[in-house]
Chains A and B, each alone.
Chain A
């Protein structure tokens, strides 16, 4: 450590706690001060450019979108850049595979322009808009194209990580085409047969010039090669934490069809009284719901269903009624409301009006005193999401805030939307992955329950009147 550090360091700085996030920070004259670290360039905070590689219909866009969704959910600002999208905007109408012929000079010029336009937007996102990761989704099948990207990244100080998808299984490719190509804007006016034929010829155009990442020639690059939808992986030169997390994630996802069922515990005694948190049992209606849930699950006839609960009585009681084995996760416990545990909203407004207002100002980042924030919850739930990705059919019986976090992951909701997602009691959400996203079906099991959803009130000022604060509190007994 250099001696200049000694001079800067005289008296330890005072600390102040951010009233909303409950995070301690150094301050001067009562105001938070910028940390010394902000003066130095930190290598681990280099933006990262993830570059997909692979023939058409190898799942590159599927991986790009899924990875982007995951990274954003865990708090890493990420955006995908699909070069095919740029091409569609440039060449308004797609005629046929001929556009992609390697001897189509006009086509090649346009495609190169599109790639450069996309890279330009990447630069905008990473260097100007504060993005952390950009996913460059294109075939990138030639060494030459990849070299261009690496040069671009070096010039701008980005790390590059390649994700190559290699697949020769004709069934997988055919299924891909059915799921996402037939519905593509390129083929809106074609019938299925024509579309498939054209697309297969399109793939052929790339095949001749395809240079996969090579163990020797590309040994200095950082990459993961995914073979046959995850049967085998080759991982080379993982440089840092984010690349390590990306590799772990990619190695845990699969495309086997399955369904994820999310629901809350049955109505609890506290729910009925309008109290948050705590560890009470089910109300009579909650017990009825548990029975209905059992019947519903049986009727669905789900193969090898796994059932997960939290470690709180109300979710376990609900699972017990199903009569099947279940696993308990402490990580699925409801958000810890700290000093506000077991209070009604009216009581929180009375005893902690400042806290109540701060929460309405930024519900995602707000941390209860001696409790948690939604942001903390997401971190807590990450291993659950990772295991959900590994599993097949799962029913997760959890809690309102927890279910909002899980739902936000599957439906790609932002941090702003997440804390206000509607997750009513006695309602099962059935999520089925389809194409690039998730189909969601909401099934109300016809057992009455209180509403526990409190909308953001209009007035979030700390100086607001109690009536304004309590305007959106749902009715309770």
Chain B
């Protein structure tokens, strides 16, 4: 066996799995959305999928509308959705079945754990089809129904995500809105919501009016409990999240990782600039969060408003490599350095942490960020990469290499189904702390190959 493989194998056989929490999922789970159009089903589907993938549960969305668009190349009008349109009904059913088939493939071939079946699923008959399919294959089913009769919310929905849909690419706004409202009416005629009595043996959550009320029935297991908790914490109130790192630190200047040093002179300048920037943004009720490490707190102090310290926001623990330069790590822990380059996400520093551990540690922070409105999080490089990956739906392969330079604020604004990100460099020079993955990750590589991508330092 190649030396590198042996090295990787050796590390792997130390534990049964590299994850820091047991994977409490046995049967695959289907999350099935229910609701009239413009009730936020796709918004919930995408957000939930993003969250589950981030915490390490392989999840994928199956949007039946997408299958329909692939089948019926051009969308003409709402008439397609009339309940008496037999030809269309046939196509729509075929699309649903095609999506279910892909769910099956996802679970059996692609090692998926959760599939989110995003469609209206407004009739009892359609839900029966799904339940039968799930039962035949041993999948658990959890329904998420979104009910809303607030015309303002629905109008806002239509504006945010329907007008720009491929279905309405050649329509003017007025036409699109009129057509879409008629489309909703088509579904209303046959809509049978989940019934408290008839459906009492099903597992589901009913969300009323974007979260003012929830009905939760028969939660079966850990993952469903987590899903319910997540859904009950998210909201759609417009707000902005600001992410940045502490100002440049003394150890940053020396090219050393970790530790608990204070700000360098330029770092202190950044802190003042950050204060000016934040005040200039005139953000109502801004919450500021820092870690327990001196450099983030020093940075927050310069803003002059109350801040909250979270130990969970502390930088990744580099264990035996704390306060070393990359050159020193290469010297003293050659094999470890290579293993890290081979799988930076799962690699755990001896007596330290991995990015995978960091994500687990940060989950309560994400949950509280979802609950909050305007927040500025002053944290660290690895931590910021994890948080950014959550908001921008980055994979675990991309996550450890996301660019989070010093003295740069990332402004995240939820929009439509995702997040708009604006990067603001506050014009105070700082060292670069980003080390790209080198080409050669072999355990027996030359030191120069290992250190090729180390950024400059004093």
Interface residues of A (CB under 8 A from B): 1, 5-6, 8-9, 12-13, 15, 17, 22-24, 26, 35-37, 40, 215, 219, 231-238, 240-241, 244, 247-248, 251-252, 279, 308, 311, 316, 327-331, 341, 370, 376, 379, 383, 387, 390
Q: Which of A6, A12, A252, A331 has the most CB of B within 10 A?
A: A12
Closest chain-A Cβ to B205's Cβ sits at a distance in Å of: 9
**Residues from 209 to 258 in B contacting A, C-beta threshold 8 Å:** 212-219, 221-222, 225, 228-229, 232-233
Q: B213, A328: Cβ atoms under 8 Å?
A: no
Q: Mark B274-318, 1 if CB is under 8 A from A, else 0.
A: 010011001100100000111001100111111001011000000
7 more CB-based (< 8 A) A-B contacts, given A311-B15, A329-B21: A12-B272, A22-B292, A232-B196, A232-B200, A241-B371, A251-B225, A341-B351
Q: List 14 A-B contacts (CB under 8 A).
A: A1-B282, A15-B301, A23-B309, A24-B294, A36-B306, A231-B200, A231-B217, A232-B215, A233-B216, A236-B213, A327-B22, A329-B22, A387-B222, A390-B221
Alpha-carbon distance A22/B309, docked complex (angstroms): 12
Q: B371, A244: Cβ atoms under 8 Å?
A: yes
Which residues of chain B come closer than 8 Å to A23, judged between CB atoms?
A: 292, 309
Q: Which of A17, A26, A215, A328 has the most CB of B within 10 A?
A: A328
Alpha-carbon distance A250/B262, docked complex (angstroms): 43
Alpha-carbon distance A252/B213, docked complex (angstroms): 19
Q: A26, B22: Cβ atoms under 8 Å?
A: no
Alpha-carbon distance A467/B216, docked complex (angstroms): 60
Alpha-carbon distance A22/B213, docked complex (angstroms): 42
Of A5, A233, A240, A330, the residue contacting B20 (CB under 8 A) is A330
Q: A12, B213: Cβ atoms under 8 Å?
A: no
Closest chain-A Cβ to B247's Cβ sits at a distance in Å of: 10
Interface residues of B (CB under 8 A from A): 15-17, 20-22, 24, 196, 200, 212-219, 221-222, 225, 228-229, 232-233, 260, 262, 268, 271-272, 275, 278-279, 282-283, 286, 292-294, 297-298, 301-306, 309, 311-312, 322, 351, 357, 360, 368, 371
Q: A330, B360: Cβ atoms under 8 Å?
A: yes
Which residues of chain B come closer than 8 Å to A387, judged between CB atoms?
A: 24, 222
Of A231, A234, A331, the residue contacting B21 (CB under 8 A) is A331
With CB as the reference atom, state the residue of chain B lying closest to A391.
Answer: B222
Q: Which of B196, B232, B357 has the most CB of A within 10 A?
A: B232
With CB as the reference atom, state the residue of chain A lying closest to B285.
Answer: A43
Closest chain-A Cβ to B279's Cβ sits at a distance in Å of: 5
Which residues of chain B come closer than 8 Å to A329, judged between CB atoms?
A: 20-22
**Chain A-chain B contacts (Cβ-Cβ < 8 Å), number:** 124
Which residues of chain A come closer than 8 Å to B282, judged between CB atoms?
A: 1
Closest chain-A Cβ to B102's Cβ sits at a distance in Å of: 31
Which residues of chain A come closer than 8 Å to B15, judged between CB atoms?
A: 311, 316, 328
Alpha-carbon distance A370/B371, docked complex (angstroms): 31
Of A35, A235, A279, A379, the residue contacting B306 (CB under 8 A) is A35
Q: A37, B306: Cβ atoms under 8 Å?
A: yes
Q: B292, A331: Cβ atoms under 8 Å?
A: no
Which residues of chain A come closer than 8 Å to B212, judged between CB atoms?
A: 219, 236-237
Q: A234, B222: Cβ atoms under 8 Å?
A: no
Closest chain-B Cβ to A240's Cβ sits at a distance in Å of: 8
Q: A390, B222: Cβ atoms under 8 Å?
A: yes
Closest chain-B Cβ to A3's Cβ sits at a distance in Å of: 9
Of A12, A327, A383, the residue contacting B298 (CB under 8 A) is A12
Alpha-carbon distance A387/B221, docked complex (angstroms): 10
Closest chain-A Cβ to B56's Cβ sits at a distance in Å of: 13
**CB-CB under 8 A for A5 and B302, given A235-B214, A241-B371, A330-B360:** no
With CB as the reference atom, state the residue of chain A lying closest to B297.
Answer: A24
Which residues of chain B come closer than 8 Å to A9, judged between CB atoms?
A: 275, 302-304
**CB-CB under 8 A for A251 and B219, given A36-B305, A328-B16, A329-B21:** yes
Q: B297, A15: Cβ atoms under 8 Å?
A: yes
Closest chain-B Cβ to A258's Cβ sits at a distance in Å of: 16
Q: A12, B301: Cβ atoms under 8 Å?
A: yes
Q: B21, A308: Cβ atoms under 8 Å?
A: no
Alpha-carbon distance A6/B276, docked complex (angstroms): 9
Which residues of chain A come closer than 8 Å to B218, judged between CB atoms?
A: 231-232
Of A251, A328, A341, the residue contacting B17 (CB under 8 A) is A328
**CB-CB under 8 A for A12 and B302, given A24-B297, A248-B229:** yes
Q: B16, A238: Cβ atoms under 8 Å?
A: no
**CB-CB under 8 A for A234 and B214, given A1-B279, A12-B268:** yes
Alpha-carbon distance A17/B15, docked complex (angstroms): 37
Alpha-carbon distance A24/B310, docked complex (angstroms): 12
Q: B20, A17: Cβ atoms under 8 Å?
A: no
Alpha-carbon distance A13/B22, docked complex (angstroms): 44
With CB as the reference atom, state the residue of chain A lying closest to B304.
Answer: A9
**CB-CB under 8 A for A24 and B225, given A1-B305, A15-B301:** no
